[in-house]
Amino acid sequence: MLLVVLFACLIVAVTAFLSLLESSLVAVDELRLVTILYKRPNNKKAIQQVFRKKREHLSAIVLLSTLISISGSTFLGALAAREFNDLWMVIFTALLAYFMLVFAKVLPKLLAVQIADRVVARYSPFIHLMYSLTRPVLLLALVWTRLLPKPVEEDRSSDELRSIIKHYNKRGVIGKRQRKLADAVLTSHQRQLTELVECSIPAVCLLSEATVASVETTIRSYPCKRYVVLTDGKPTGIVLYRHIARCLVNEEADISVGELMRKTINLAPETSLHEAMTALQEARASIILLLGETVEQTRIVTAKKLYQALLR
């Protein structure tokens, strides 16, 4: 009789542990995984191996849990039939079903939601070991999954990401300032460059082939930080006032404006802030020229101004 009770406790304990692992693995999504890896756990490599093939590792846990539950209950029933009479057999079966339901299934799943991070961080090597040992059986068992439709990964929309940020803001994970910055970045594809140049003054243009000496009068009459450089009548870049002034001070007035020209990119005013930021990064530039109907209507947007608008 003692052997039957001890074996029943062992079956319940092992099933409960496997249920805890299974529910913890299900509870950890991509966002929660990032949080776990950010803390640099000792089992980081094992955690990455498990979640690289999450479905397979989860299947290994379910397979072992099912085998132990079915085979253990069957063997336990055979032992109990030899030890108990009909009345005690009914009582033992009812108690076993109760303990299996409550302590091996329900409670571990409820507990896993609260401590999933710690369970995954600690037992990932064991989960990976279970997968390695049961892999041949899994390959045979999962062959039927080919009949099922393949899961399609969907990109998260901006609305979903904003909801996630709002959720973590309410929980105190991120502050109000960080939430506003994240919201600004997520809405950057809805805002256009035109909002950055509404109050801009007309551009002062210089010919690229003109020398520093020939434009001295112009920059004295119209002092500004940046001048639009024209090549064949079209805006192709900008030149800074300080660069021209430095050439005049250093008696290098024969240098052409084109030699001092800084690299820029041309974008339409309707371009979104997100697209503009991406274009600047790809071109490795820091200035955007927004072309107008005339060269004087050309507007200048710096990377600094763009980032300030994103983080405002």
Separation between Cα atoms, residue 203 and residue 201, nearest integer Å: 6
Which residues lie closer than 8 Å to 89 by C-beta, 6 or more apart?
A: 80, 81
* b/e sequence 148-181, b meaning 16+ C-beta within 10 Å: eeeeeeeeeeeeeeeeebeebbeeeebeeeebeb
Bridge partners of 262, per DSSP, are 238
**Residue-level pLDDT, tens digit, the chain, 312 residues:** 677 778 778 888 888 888 888 888 888 887 788 778 888 888 888 888 888 888 888 888 888 888 888 887 777 777 777 777 777 777 877 887 888 888 888 888 888 888 888 888 888 888 888 888 888 877 776 666 666 666 666 666 666 777 777 777 776 767 777 777 777 777 777 777 877 776 556 788 888 888 888 888 888 888 888 888 888 888 888 888 888 888 888 888 888 888 888 888 888 888 888 888 888 888 888 888 888 777 777 888 888 888 777 776
pLDDT tens for each residue of 268-302: 888 888 888 888 888 888 888 888 777 777 888 88
Q: How many CA atoms are closer than 13 Å to the CA of 280, on its beta-carbon side?
A: 18
Which H, E and C letters describe the chain, residue by residue? Answer: CHHHHHHHHHHHHHHHHHHHHHHHHHHCCHHHHHHHHHCCCCCHHHHHHHHHCHHHHHHHHHHHHHHHHHHHHHHHHHHHHHHCCHHHHHHHHHHHHHHHHHHHHHHHHHHHHHHHHHHHHHHHHHHHHHHHHHHHHHHHHHHHHHHCCCCCCCCCCHHHHHHHHHHHHHCCCCCHHHHHHHHHHHCHHHCEHHHHCCCCCCCCEEECCCECHHHHHHHHHCCCCEEEEEECCEEEEEEEHHHHHHHHHCCCCCCEHHHHCECCEEECCCCEHHHHHHHHHHHCCCEEEECCCCHHHCEEEEHHHHHHHHCC
Q: What's the pLDDT score for residue 51?
A: 86
Bridge partners of 301, per DSSP, are 288
Separation between Cα atoms, residue 212 and residue 253, nearest integer Å: 5
Which residues lie closer than 8 Å to 290 by C-beta, 6 or more apart?
A: 193, 194, 197, 266, 267, 268, 269, 298, 299, 300, 301
pTM to 2 decimal places: 0.53
Q: What's the pLDDT score for residue 251?
A: 82
Token pair 């990455």 in the structure block, residue: 48
Q: Average pLDDT, whole number, for the chain?
A: 81
